[in-house]
Amino acid sequence: MTTFESSKSSLVKPMPAKVASNTSRVSPWLTSLLYPLGYYIVLPFYFGKIEIAGQEHLPKDGPVILAPTHRSRWDALMMPYATGKMVTGRDLRFMVTADEVKGMQGWFIRNLGGFAIDIRHPGISSLRYGLELLLDRQMLVIFPEGGIFQDGEVHPLKQGLARLAIQAESIEPNLALKIVPISIRYRPRIPQWRSRVKISIGSPISVADYATGAGKKEARLLTADLEIALKNLDS
């Protein structure tokens, strides 16, 4: 799973109430089956200890972007475990690379809230779909580093997350969109049987404080502050 970066100052243009369709959905029966399985059996069985701090920072309503560090494919299960329906009562929507959404795996991803984006050639319909989710006040997961890094460092963030967030807040000024920085750390760094995990959830960042325009300057500032927040959590 990953995110994107656009070379333009504005990702999408204001849109009507509904935009291009996307096959992503949250299947009630599938989530009711798999989420408890992962929460109570798979993750506790595989990992030696999972420590979570800062869950009080998770908004229980309103639009949210969860911005975690990306250290392993296990992160896709750690996010629902630490922030999802069993914790906040909210479904998570994931922005996923197009390469991941193929075959049987793709079917599960699309029915568990994931939607595809081609990071090499981001399509306007996918970006608009992410924007629509935010305007619908949902909780969206975007990995801002743009890839998996297992060296224990927070890598420079892509600006796509910030641009999408500012665009949403600019379209609807009272949206009150929040970005929640999240650090996921494994010990050892490459997860294995009985590894330890620490998930640290930081204070939400209010996008309205940065939505003074839709230009690159605001996105750079928001991206820089999010990177600082992630580094502080990861230290």
Q: What is the pLDDT of residues 33-82, one digit of tens each?
A: 999 999 999 999 999 999 999 999 999 999 999 999 999 999 999 999 99
Pairing, β 114-117 against β 92-97: parallel
Domain 48-234, classified CATH 3.40.1130.10, yes or no: yes
The model carries a pTM of 0.88
pLDDT tens column, 169-204: 999 989 999 999 999 999 999 999 999 999 999 999
Rounded Cα–Cα distance for residues 195 and 134 (Å): 34
Q: What would the DSSP string read from start to end of 163-189?
A: HHHHHHHHHSTT---EEEEEEEEEESS
pLDDT tens by residue, 202-221: 999 999 999 986 578 999 99
Residue 228 contacts residue 179 (beta carbons within 8 Å): no
pLDDT in tens, 96-120: 877 777 888 888 888 999 988 766 6
**CB of 205 closer than 8 Å to CB of 224:** no
- Cα–chain-centroid distance for residue 63? 12
More confident residue, 123 or 107: 107
Instruction: List the domain boundaries for the chain.
Output: 48-234
Which of these, 201, 113, 213, lies nearest to 162 by C-alpha position? 213
The pLDDT value recorded for residue 105 is 82
User: 11 or 79: which carries more pLDDT confidence?
Assistant: 79
